[in-house]
């Protein structure tokens, strides 16, 4: 058993993360500067109010809604939003009174993060990834969305470079609201499909 | 690769730890690690398929017990070592302790020689294949039958792209599966849509 390595305590995860950043800096890659800029950009730009604005526009503008459903990537770019190169397509999933769409990535954590915001913790957890494809109605009920039997469910597993966003049903009683007021009603959870509005 | 990461349909897990409007990050190092791997991708040190596969190659007990961003960190460090940017000894010295990395990769593969273009409405079967390389076919659709709903743009073939092999870009197809055919008698009724690469599919008559 000459290949056994000496037992060394594992460094804490914070120390391991700091070690990578420090070593890349030492090699002249200016990692710390990149990280600071990246974090500020993510906080400012990769937020669910982007998707909320897309939904509100689709609710008030039928022509925009049609373009959004036909080619989501081009339609969100009309509003000044961006998607990374490997998000080659945005498919917008329209909920109706009798259909509910919900998004998952069973293999990892893929999301249209520049549109619907960075994925929340539970979306990346093993429980959600394992269960929502097989026990969709049960998991949604446990998460507070108790769908009546008349609403069918479609689950979308993000396994390639296509990204998804749910277009929620516009709530009743919102006829007089402005586009900005409508956008304020749209949550990230509704864009993923674990809530209805 | 039939690894731990292939979570869809696994049983025994408890409730989702859901809170409305939950955060993406819980600690400052998580956001920094997320940025570091993005930097490495932008600098061309590795691509997204290599990144995903290095997470999948984590030792099973490590994969299951690590937090999401610890998996990101492990993939990043593994690829930096494999690409010759850093050494594991440097990492362990700087971290002040052991720095576990992912296991080695099996060889990749190129496109299926007999793949064929498909169209919406086609009935398809997912090939009953077991490959030890990176693959974007969740195990729960292996050998199963579904219907093509739509076609997505050409995409690098992940089974090659994660392993430094050249292959042709492929369309992916959105295929709808009936949950009760995926897990007969043991699933909530639903349609499960999966984006499936052309090489993984065969057309049914």
- Overall average pLDDT of the A34-61 stretch: 96
Complex-level ipTM: 0.97
Name which of A116, A89, A121, A85 is nearest A102 in CA terms: A116
pLDDT digits 0-9 by tens, A67-125: 999 999 999 999 999 999 889 999 999 999 999 999 999 999 999 999 999 999 999 99
In chain A, which residues have their Cβ closer than 8 Å to the Cβ of B15? 127, 142
Site from A11, A12, A17, A122 to mutate, B interface, most B CB atoms within 10 angstroms: A17
Task: Characterize A116-136 residue by residue with b for buried, 16 or more Cβ atoms within 10 angstroms of its Cβ, and e for exposed.
Answer: bbbbbbbbbbbbbbbbbbbbb
Which pLDDT value is given to residue B96?
A: 96
- Predicted TM-score (pTM) above 0.90: yes
Which pLDDT value is given to residue B3?
A: 97
B:87-106 residues touching chain A, CB 8 A cutoff: 90-92, 94-100
In chain A, which residues have their Cβ closer than 8 Å to the Cβ of B92? 8, 11
pLDDT band at A7 (very low <50, low <70, confident <90, very high): low
- Closest alpha carbon within chain A to B51: A108
C-alpha–C-alpha distance, residues A20 and A30, integer Å: 12
Task: Characterize B20-46 residue by residue with b for buried, 16 or more Cβ atoms within 10 angstroms of its Cβ, and e for exposed.
Answer: eeeebbeeebbbbbbbbbbbbbeeebb
In chain B, which residues have their Cβ closer than 8 Å to the Cβ of A110? none
In chain B, which residues have their Cβ closer than 8 Å to the Cβ of A121? 17, 22-24, 26, 68
Q: Is A2 assigned a catalytic role?
A: no
Which pLDDT value is given to residue A130?
A: 98
Spot the catalytic one: A98, A110, A136, A178.
A110
Which pLDDT value is given to residue A6?
A: 62
CB pair distance less than 8 Å for A127 and B187: no
C-beta neighbour count of B110 within 10 angstroms: 14
CB pair distance less than 8 Å for B29 and A144: no
Which pLDDT value is given to residue A3?
A: 59
pLDDT digits 0-9 by tens, A120-131: 999 999 999 999
Name which of B164, B165, B174, B168 is nearest B156 in CA terms: B168
Nearest CB among A117, A144, A160 relative to B172 is that of: A160
Spot the catalytic one: A15, A108, A136, A178.
A108
Which pLDDT value is given to residue A8?
A: 80
Q: Which residues of chain B have pLDDT under 50?
A: none
CB pair distance less than 8 Å for B55 and A108: yes
- Overall average pLDDT of the A58-75 stretch: 98
pLDDT digits 0-9 by tens, A127-183: 999 999 999 999 999 999 999 999 999 999 999 999 999 999 999 999 999 999 999
């Amino acid at each position: 058993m000459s290949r056994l390595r000496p037992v060394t305590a594992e460094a804490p995860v914070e120390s391991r993360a700091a070690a990578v950043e420090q070593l890349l800096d030492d090699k002249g890659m200016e990692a710390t500067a990149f990280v600071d800029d990246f974090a500020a950009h993510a906080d400012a730009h990769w937020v669910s109010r982007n998707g909320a604005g897309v939904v509100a526009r689709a609710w008030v503008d039928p022509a925009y809604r049609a373009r959004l459903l036909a080619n989501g990537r081009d339609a969100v770019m009309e509003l000044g939003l961006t998607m990374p190169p490997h998000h080659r397509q945005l498919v917008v999933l329209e909920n109706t009174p009798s259909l509910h769409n919900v998004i998952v990535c069973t293999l990892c954590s893929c999301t249209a993060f520049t549109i619907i915001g960075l994925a929340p913790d539970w979306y990346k957890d093993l429980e959600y990834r394992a269960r929502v494809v097989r026990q969709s109605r049960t998991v949604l009920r446990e998460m507070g969305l108790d769908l009546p039997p008349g609403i069918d469910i479609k689950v979308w597993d993000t396994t390639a470079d296509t990204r998804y966003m749910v277009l929620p049903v516009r709530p009743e009683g919102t006829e007089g609201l402005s586009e900005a007021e409508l956008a304020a009603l749209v949550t990230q959870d509704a864009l993923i499909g674990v809530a209805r509005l | 690769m039939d690894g731990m990461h292939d979570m869809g349909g696994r049983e025994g897990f408890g409730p989702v730890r859901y809170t409305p409007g939950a955060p993406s990050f819980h600690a400052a190092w998580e956001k920094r690690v997320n940025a570091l791997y993005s930097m490495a991708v932008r600098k061309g040190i590795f691509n997204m398929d290599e990144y995903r596969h290095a997470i999948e190659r984590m030792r099973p007990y490590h994969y299951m017990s690590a937090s999401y961003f610890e998996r990101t960190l492990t993939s990043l460090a593994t690829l930096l070592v494999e690409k010759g940017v850093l050494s594991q000894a440097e990492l362990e010295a700087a971290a002040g302790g052991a720095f576990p990395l992912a296991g080695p990769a099996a060889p990749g593969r190129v496109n299926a020689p007999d793949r064929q273009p498909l169209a919406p409405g086609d009935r398809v079967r997912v090939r009953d294949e077991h490959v030890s390389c990176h693959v974007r076919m969740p195990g729960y659709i292996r050998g199963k039958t579904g219907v093509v709903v739509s076609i997505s743009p050409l995409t690098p073939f992940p089974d090659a792209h994660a392993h430094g092999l050249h292959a042709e870009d492929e369309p992916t197809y959105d295929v709808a599966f009936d949950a009760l055919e995926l897990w007969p008698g043991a699933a909530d009724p639903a349609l499960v849509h999966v984006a499936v690469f052309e090489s993984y599919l065969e057309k049914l008559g």
